[in-house]
Amino acid sequence: MTASTATTATYRQPGVVLTDRFFTVPLDHDDPDGEQIELYAREVAAAGRNTAELPWLLYLEGGPGFGARRFVGREAWLGRAVEDYRVLLLDQRGTGRSTPVNRQTLPLRGGPAEQAEYLTRFRTDSIVRDCEVIRTAVTGGAPWTVLGQSFGGFCVTRYLSSAPEGLAAALLTGGLPSLDAHADDVYRAAYPRIERKVAAHYDRYPQDIARARRIAEHLAEHRTVLNGGYRLTVEAFQSLGIMLGGGDGSHRLHYLLENAFVRTATGPQLSDGFQEEVQTALSYAGHPLYALMHEAIYAQDNRPTGWAAERVRAEFPQFDAERTLATDAPLLFTGESVHPWAFHCDPSLAPLRETAETIAQRADWTPLYDAGRLARNEVPVAAAVYHDDMYVDTEHALRTARTIRGLRTWVTDEFEHDGLRAGGPRVLDRLLSLVRGEA
């Protein structure tokens, strides 16, 4: 099927020419004549080369639930990419300027059961089929290179499993998924990594041990609703540990903690500045699909995910804040995980509580990856694997890398999970050299 496509505006930023593009695709690709949704993508070409015949590079953002990064000019890896390619920055279905999915739009689908059924079409399998429809419209059928960051790499792995004929090359950064791990296995491997990251943070900033405990004790004693309406519990505060998965995350967390309290007429209170930063860091208002579908990206059989991160956490009692505050132990932060309490704390998620529960209990998920097809792969593939990635288990990633025929890995401890952002041009250049046989 060919997507209907529309170009609405072309404009310039320093060093690049940008074009807004919209595509209409089926909600359910198995019913191509049924309901349609809209996808948005931003085309980027180097200034002075915007009319040239260039190969295409499609970028798939991490997530799930995030639109493509909004670059300004040639920043980060984009400057390197436009030297060789015309780049398409896709807002995956449900994100960014594509047909939105959030607490405001989901009631149009019906009740929680209908909403949950609708959301099953927002996993990597549907995203890849979107890409194939768009590719036909954009390249005229020629294969393109795809760059996937984090969850975008999960999408690329699905692409290699289901439609490798559409790919000239595949590049993955921090995004090689396990082909068969259940969500329980993912989090069972994750909590020890998170504990290491927290220990490293406290080694770097030992003064934060007392600061984190003081904040947690305050939250345990006072019902705290942030100025933006978010209910900040101790567990929610612990989830700020998600910051520790980025290269500058430990430093940003430190700066956040050091300005937590202000003296008032009624005693110490959490400062407005601290509240504002925490609300921004924890709110899912801009990316609710992340909370709704995060565990579902690991679901591939008849077992429900069943709030895996919450259940598995019980196997690691050192993360229990109540137990910690009864001792002298440092409070442990948590990482990239979604828990049922988020749908009570976050006003942007609260109306979707029953929908999230329905998804968590779903037991008829379909497989996302084809190990046999990956073993016969003929597409040039390169993957950056970060040595102690907090978000994606390195052992799982390397096991998958060994499954994909011809895949070349670059294992590095120079970067954290956000290496493509932090080390942009060099990371992309390294991966291109690997798929081109230049390194």
**What span, in angstroms and rounded, lies between the C-alpha atoms of 382 and 385?**
10
> For residue 239, what pLDDT is reported?
98
Q: Which amino acid is at 248?
A: D
Average pLDDT over residues 258-267: 94
> For residue 6, what pLDDT is reported?
72
Confidence of residue 161 (pLDDT cuts 50, 70, 90): very high
> For residue 303, what pLDDT is reported?
95
The residue to which tokens 């099927």 are assigned: 1
Q: Which among 169, 197, 177, 91 is positioned nearest to 134, based on CA atoms?
A: 91
Whether residue 4 has pLDDT greater than 80 = no
> For residue 3, what pLDDT is reported?
62
- Active-site amino acid positions: 150, 364, 417
> For residue 214, what pLDDT is reported?
97
**What span, in angstroms and rounded, lies between the C-alpha atoms of 396 and 381?**
17
Average pLDDT over residues 425-429: 95
> For residue 107, what pLDDT is reported?
97
CA 413 to chain centre: 20
Q: Which among 61, 77, 416, 425 is positioned nearest to 248, based on CA atoms?
A: 416
Q: Tens digit of pLDDT for each residue in 408-425?
A: 999 999 999 999 999 989
Task: For residue 380, give both structure tokens.
Answer: 């040039």
Percentage of the chain with pLDDT > 70?
Answer: 99
Average pLDDT over residues 69-90: 96
Q: Tens digit of pLDDT for each residue in 113-158?
A: 999 999 999 999 999 999 999 999 999 999 999 999 999 999 999 9
Task: For residue 387, give both structure tokens.
Answer: 């040595």
Whether residue 2 has pLDDT greater than 60 = no
Q: Which among 21, 18, 22 is positioned nearest to 71, based on CA atoms?
A: 18
Q: Tens digit of pLDDT for each residue in 7-41?
A: 779 999 999 999 999 999 999 999 999 999 999 99
CB 342 within 8 A of CB 353: no
Kindly report the backbone phi and psi dihedral angles of residue 99, in degrees, each rounded to the nearest multiple of 5, phi listed first. -45, 115
Whether residue 189 has pLDDT greater than 70 = yes
Which helix or strand (DSSP H or E) is residue 253 part of?
helix 249-258
Whether residue 309 has pLDDT greater than 60 = yes
Q: On the CB side of 322, how many CA atoms lie within 13 Å of its CA? A: 3
**What span, in angstroms and rounded, lies between the C-alpha atoms of 165 and 184?**
33
Q: Which among 295, 4, 377 is positioned nearest to 123, based on CA atoms?
A: 295
> For residue 439, what pLDDT is reported?
82
**What span, in angstroms and rounded, lies between the C-alpha atoms of 324 and 200?**
18
> Residue 56 in 3-state DSSP?
strand
Q: Give me Rg for the CA atoms of the chain.
A: 22
Average pLDDT over residues 199-203: 98
The residue to which tokens 């968590």 are assigned: 360
> For residue 433, what pLDDT is reported?
97
CATH classification code of 4-180+369-435? 3.40.50.1820
In the chain, where the domains are located:
4-180+369-435, 183-360
Average pLDDT, the chain: 96
> For residue 364, what pLDDT is reported?
94
